[in-house]
Amino acid sequence: MLDILLPILLFAALAVAALGAWRRVRLWRRGRASQVSVFRGLIAMPRRYLVDLHHVVARDKVMANTHVATAGGFVAALGLAIVVHGLGLAEGVLGWLLLAASATMFAGSLFVVRRRRNPPARLSKGPWMRLPKSLMAFSLGIFVVTLPAVGVLPADAGGWLVALVLAAVVAWGLAELVVGMTWGGPMKHAFAGALHLAFHRRPERFSDTQHGGSPPTGLKALDLDDAEAPLGVGQPSDFTWNQLLGFDACVQCGRCEAVCPAFAAGQPLNPKKLIQDMVVGMAGGSDAQYAGSPYPSPERGDQPVGEHQGSPHGPIVAPASTKDGKALVDAETLWSCTTCRACVEECPMMIEHVDAIVDMRRHLTLEEGATPGKGAEVIDNLIATDNPGGFDPGGRLNWAADLELPLMADVERAEVLLWLGDGVFDMRNQRTLRALVKVLRAADVDFAVLGNEERDSGDVARRLGDEATFQSLARRNIATLSQYRFDCVVTCDPHSFHVLKNEYGAFYPEGQEAGYPVWHHSTFINQLIEAGRLRLAPGQAARVTYHDPCYLGRYNGEYEAPRAVLQALGVELVEMQRSGYRSRCCGGGGGAPVTDIPGKQRIPDMRMGDVRETQAEQVVVGCPQCTAMFEGVVPPAGDEEVAVKDIAEMVAAALDTTPAATSSAPRDTSTAQATEEVMS
Amino acid sequence: MQPESAMTPGLEVTVLVSVGRHPLTGRARRADQDARGVELARSLANAQVRLLHAGMRDESSEAALRGYLGMGFTELSLLEQPEGADVLPALAEALDAMSPHLVIAGERAERGEGSGLLPYLLAERLGWPLVSGLAAVESVEEGMATLLQALPRGQRRRLKVRLPVIVTVDDAAPAPRQSAYGPARRGAFETAAGPVSDDEQWAAWQVQPARQRPKRLKIVKAASARDRFKAAAAKAEGGSGQVLTDVTPTQGAEAILTLLREEDVLR
Ligand code: SF4
Ligand code: SF4
């Protein structure tokens, strides 16, 4: 009897799944066009799964092995079951292989059961709670029905009642694991995830493509010359189809939620929920079915689910004219993000949260004119004065009146173009800049600055969604840069660093390209030390910890150089629990201090808490934003203030100033005096 | 903002907008006070708001005017005028033809003469009343507008005025909304050629950057640091002014003349 039922069940499940797949593909196709190479993507997919995806999953060893056993066992078992039971080809070794595969899968599913017993808060509940049972049903059912096929049991063992029960168990497993894959069950992640890997919007993320070392993290440019193209994403169907596909791939593992600083601070953002909301919008409906942690709400503790709904062609954020109106997500959710990329780094499904968030911000800023907080003012300043603070652009070098910095306009060529950034207007950052100048002079580096010709890099404008202002700043900066000759650009601002290095390339005029490397000052100083150009006085006995800036670390993969410099300084480095690629954001990125969405606590306070846990006397940073955020933290009563030092300041203080070493840097002493004056 | 019933349906509002100038960089932009005027118009329920500009059209002025379109408009009426022309006759004629109920303008322009006289001259030509320094339009009912005028130090005066009326706004009016790139780019200019009258005097003038006006020094005779601090922190008190009511224009003018002589402004 089973040999009649099983083929019917198997092929019926496959047929229904195929129908579901067709419908799901149609959902994704509601998105806008996006160029992918279908064939190459499909070829590369297994490698992307085994290498790139597994690289992320393997950060949790138990889960990785569980997944390998369960998923590997399932794929093998399903394939073999089709051959053995569907086509009745049980001969020889096939049946035994099927037994092995289903046994492996069963072993894996036991671990899934164990994990689901006390699931961490980041995991979604709801239908996900029945998944381990379905996995067991499938593996066990297939195992038992295969026993007769290999001759361990007689073909009619147990009679028709047992056969019916077994068929029902197998049918349950098939319904969840095969049909559910394309009809929106938890297993959807396997189907969508596989295709997402093949058709990813950033194929350069994967190891089968070439991307020259640093992770590809630059935002994609909006085509402003095309008057028809939507300015960002205002409704789910404005996403490209492979972005929609990516959202659908989410396994609701909540790794992104666990690392999101905005979520931890109680701001109304949870990256996992956001991705699920996009799925809701794509398919149409309300978020009532969502079974994970909701968005935090400063007033209500949690935002209850079921209040929001959307449709593929409906607005994502309710327009301002519908007061108190709700659509798919609230604007505050989108503006809470610091673009720290921690979620993207952790996501095993390679989903690009930041791209999606900025896409939606673009619509809010460019179409609705609804940048919150001080956002509109900052953008207006950038348009009128080329810096976010609205300072006189003719005063960019006022802080350095005594330093006689060589201007590019005068020297026209130099070894290093020192990009100063908007920190020139900030008294704290001026101290860092002075230290950096002192270090460069001590190493006899031939450098020059753009002075008043420099403009804001456009970082904040772009993260606030104002692509038009960003592109205008980028094009004008590029025109300025193109006038001069230099070997490399060095900057102490990781945001300028990222934008110049990874995002300006798209805006060079036809036939030109950025023919220079861009270095963060920590990298450059490390090069100087390695080349023996800097003489450091040994022996600073300090216990420090180092905070990886998001835009240096996760955005550009530079974790080593600052640590190497600290080692050369001889200080004792204690790492925070979350450091390196898991570093927690300072709260200063993505325009978050400008939009200032309230939460239960502040992100920089939490990060300074991390710093205090290490009992370090100083926290070393490499970013003007981080410095500003950390110095704004009031230490808890009774606690010592932890000094915040830029890495350039650390190096400047350690320069070997004995006469033999300083012969090449006569200006050192005057610089030090001037530094004190500014500080006092 | 206001309950809809308080508004006459189809209140026609024209906002006069000009090309502004950023105080630090001199870049063309939407003028701040004019943008506040647009914001005020936008907040009126049931109003049909129309933007009107008279002036030269070139790349930078067009970019600046698009700043107003970005506040959510699909078109802007443009009376093309050559550089340095006196825009008064063109504006007066256009307003006469449109006959809106309410005309909103900024107190003074950020470039050009910037004398702040244009609204007054317009009012004179059209024979309409003018209310300056508006903070809000409270309601418009049966041809009467209830306006809230801003006075120094946060005081407000409620006025009832018969329509049509010209009102001007300054920094007391609500801050303008953000100008969005999308609508600004899509918005259209509806160009019309108005009468051109050359401003001969203007052509003969020499324009140079303004210097800051000298401030009257407060002479404080204080014995202790505490007194000096109190004097420095104290608000300027009016005190010595006098309010003239029910006087003839001649008496008023004489009083002003006397004051100007006392202050050595006129000798
Ligand atoms: S977005 Fe990625 S990390 Fe977040 S829940 Fe989904 S799969 Fe997990
Ligand atoms: S980028 Fe950072 S702040 Fe934004 S959603 Fe991801 S983890 Fe949260």
Could you read off the pLDDT of B50-66 as tens digits, one per residue? 999 999 888 889 999 99
Contact A245, A199 (CB under 8 A): yes
Percent of chain A predicted with pLDDT > 70: 94
State whether the beta carbon of A271 lies less than 6 angstroms from ligand 2. Answer: yes
Helices (H), B25-178: 32-42, 59-69, 88-98, 118-126
B170: which 2 tokens? 């300054």
In Å, what is the CA distance from B167 to each residue of A389, B1, B9, B49? 33, 19, 20, 14
Is the model's pLDDT at A325 over the cut of 90?
no
Search chain A and give the residue with CA nearest B43.
A321
Could you read off the pLDDT of B132-168 as tens digits, one per residue? 999 999 988 888 999 999 988 788 999 999 989 999 9
CB contact under 8 A, A384 and B25: yes
Residue B231: inside a domain: no
Residue whose CA is at the smallest distance from ligand 2 atom 6: A343
> pLDDT band at A392, cuts 50/70/90?
very high
In Å, what is the CA distance from A523 to each residue of A408, A542, A544, A565, B6? 22, 22, 19, 9, 66
In this structure, CATH architecture of domain A388-529? 3-Layer(aba) Sandwich (3.40)
Is the model's pLDDT at A677 over the cut of 60?
no
B229: which 2 tokens? 């601090």
Average pLDDT, chain A: 89
Neighbours of A35 (CB within 10 A): 7
What does the pLDDT read at residue A563? 95
Distance CA B75, CA B189 (A): 6
Could you read off the pLDDT of A238-260 as tens digits, one per residue? 999 999 999 999 999 999 999 99
B227 vs A176: which has the higher pLDDT:
A176
Residue B251: inside a domain: no
**Rounded to a whole number, what is the distance in Å from the CA of B31 to chain A's nearest CA?**
12
Residue B55: inside a domain: yes
What does the pLDDT read at residue A674? 39
What does the pLDDT read at residue B102? 93
Ligand at minimal distance from the CA of A196 is: 1
Search chain B and give the residue with CA nearest A468.
B181
A149 vs A270: which has the higher pLDDT:
A270
B23: which 2 tokens? 């105080």
State whether the beta carbon of A340 lies less than 6 angstroms from ligand 2. Answer: yes
Q: Report the phi/psi class of residue A512: left, alpha or beta, with left for phi > 0 and alpha for psi in -120 to 50.
A: beta
**Helix, strand, or coil here: A416?**
strand
What does the pLDDT read at residue A370? 92
> pLDDT band at B170, cuts 50/70/90?
confident
What are the b/e assignments for B67-92, b being 16+ CB within 10 Å? Answer: bbbbbbbeebbbbbbeeebbbbbbbb
What is the atom index within ligand 1 of the atom nearest the CA of A255?
A: 3
Contact A277, A66 (CB under 8 A): no
Total-model pTM: 0.89
Q: What is the DSSP string of A336-372?
A: T-----HHHHH-TT---HHHHHHHHHHIIIIII---T
Contact A391, B206 (CB under 8 A): no
A398: which 2 tokens? 């006022």
Distance CA B41, CA B72 (A): 12
**Rounded to a whole number, what is the distance in Å from the CA of A458 to chain B's nearest CA?**
16
A334: which 2 tokens? 């989108």
Question: What's the whole-number mean pLDDT along residues A175-179?
Answer: 91
CB contact under 8 A, B180 and A369: yes
What is the atom index within ligand 2 of the atom nearest the CA of A342?
A: 7
Interface residue of B25, B36, B110 to substitute, partner A, most A CBs within 10 Å: B25
Neighbours of A568 (CB within 10 A): 17
Question: What's the whole-number mean pLDDT along residues A121-143?
Answer: 91
Residue B75 parent element (H or E)? strand B75-80
Strands B197-198 and B85-86: antiparallel
Percent of chain B predicted with pLDDT > 90: 51
Question: What's the whole-number mean pLDDT along residues B160-182?
Answer: 93
Contact A365, A444 (CB under 8 A): no
Residue B99: inside a domain: yes
Contacts of residue B110, Cβ cutoff 8 Å, sequence gap at least 6: B18, B19, B20, B21, B23, B31, B32
Contact A417, A517 (CB under 8 A): no
The CATH class that applies to domain A231-368 reads: mainly alpha
Residue B109: inside a domain: yes
Nearest CB partner across the interface for A384, out of B22, B177, B181: B22
Q: Within an 8 Å CB–CB cutoff, is residue B179 touching chain A? A: yes
Look at A47-56, A456-465, B189-198 and tell me which has the smallest mean pLDDT. Answer: B189-198
State whether the beta carbon of A238 lies less than 6 angstroms from ligand 1. Answer: no
Taking the centre of ligand 2 as the mean of its atom positions, its distance from the CA of residue A397, in whole angstroms, is: 35
What does the pLDDT read at residue B68? 96
Residue B218: inside a domain: no
What is the atom index within ligand 2 of the atom nearest the CA of A339?
A: 1
Contacts of residue A577, Cβ cutoff 8 Å, sequence gap at least 6: A610, A613
Search chain B and give the residue with CA nearest A371.
B178
CB contact under 8 A, A369 and B178: yes
Which structural domain range is residue B32 located in? 11-204
Taking the centre of ligand 1 as the mean of its atom positions, its distance from the CA of residue A473, in whole angstroms, is: 34
What does the pLDDT read at residue A73? 93
Taking the centre of ligand 1 as the mean of its atom positions, its distance from the CA of residue A271, in whole angstroms, is: 8
Give chain B's end-to-end CA distance (angstroms, integer): 51
State whether the beta carbon of A261 lies less than 6 angstroms from ligand 2. Answer: yes
- Please tell me the total count of domains within chain B: 1
User: Which value, in Å, is the radius of gyration of the alpha carbons in chain B?
Assistant: 21
A646 phi, psi to nearest 5 deg = -75, 150
**Rounded to a whole number, what is the distance in Å from the CA of B108 to chain A's nearest CA?**
20
Residue whose CA is at the smallest distance from ligand 1 atom 7: A250
Q: What share of chain A is helix, strand, coil (3-state, %, to 5)?
A: 55, 5, 40
CB contact under 8 A, A369 and B179: yes
Strands A485-491 and B47-55: unpaired
CB contact under 8 A, A384 and B183: no
> pLDDT band at A322, cuts 50/70/90?
low
Chain A positions in Cβ-Cβ contact with residue B185 (cut-off 8 Å): 227
Strand arrangement, sheet containing B75-80: B156-162, B144-150, B130-141, B165-169, B102-106, B11-16, B47-55, B75-80, B188-193
**CATH at B86:** 3.40.50.620
Give chain A's end-to-end CA distance (angstroms, integer): 91
Distance CA A330, CA A372 (A): 12
B21: which 2 tokens? 């100038």
What does the pLDDT read at residue B221? 72
Q: Where are the beta strands (DSSP E) in A496-635?
A: 518-520, 543-546, 572-573, 618-621
CB contact under 8 A, B24 and A393: yes
Cross-strand bridge partners of residue A285: A310
Q: Within an 8 Å CB–CB cutoff, is residue A366 touching chain B? A: yes
Q: Within an 8 Å CB–CB cutoff, is residue B24 touching chain A? A: yes
Q: Within an 8 Å CB–CB cutoff, is residue B72 touching chain A? A: yes
Residue B247: inside a domain: no
Distance CA A477, CA A456 (A): 8
